[in-house]
Amino acid sequence: QEGSLLYWTLVLGLLGSASLVASASLGTRLAAYAAGVMAAIVTFFLFVLVLVASPFGVLPITPADGLGLNPVLRDSGMLIHPPVVLAGFASFAVPFSFAAAALLANRVDAAWIA
């Protein structure tokens, strides 16, 4: 779904920005590599959004009547479940970017984890 991809990219950008602001104490080289890895991930998702799956595409014809809401989503618990799951998936990019940054910066000690 294109809307889910747009939401995923938004959460990636917000979490990446927040984590990079919070990581200023780790050192400039590690933070720079982490910013680069995170920017590459967000750029990939933006590339897919712009060129492959446009969430704002117009339908070629106007449907006479829609299918309605998916029956699975009629439960009130399912109102919050999909956004939280997608945000959880997107949040895995933050530790990945710092782990990749530690490898790129040649910091294999445990200091980059703290």
Could you tell me which of 32, 47, 15 has the C-alpha nearest to residue 107?
32
Could you tell me which of 32, 36, 41 has the C-alpha nearest to residue 13?
41
Residue 89 DSSP class: H
Residue 105 to residues 35, 38, 81, 99, 100: CA-CA distances in angstroms?
Answer: 12, 15, 37, 10, 9
Every domain of the chain and the residues it spans: 2-55+75-112
pLDDT at 112 over 90: no
User: pTM, whole model, 2 decimals?
Assistant: 0.80
pLDDT band at 97 (very low <50, low <70, confident <90, very high): very high
Longest CA pairwise span in the chain (Å): 62
Per-residue pLDDT tens for 45-69?
Answer: 999 998 988 888 887 887 777 777 7
Report the range of poorest mean pLDDT among 8-12, 23-27, 86-90, 97-101: 23-27
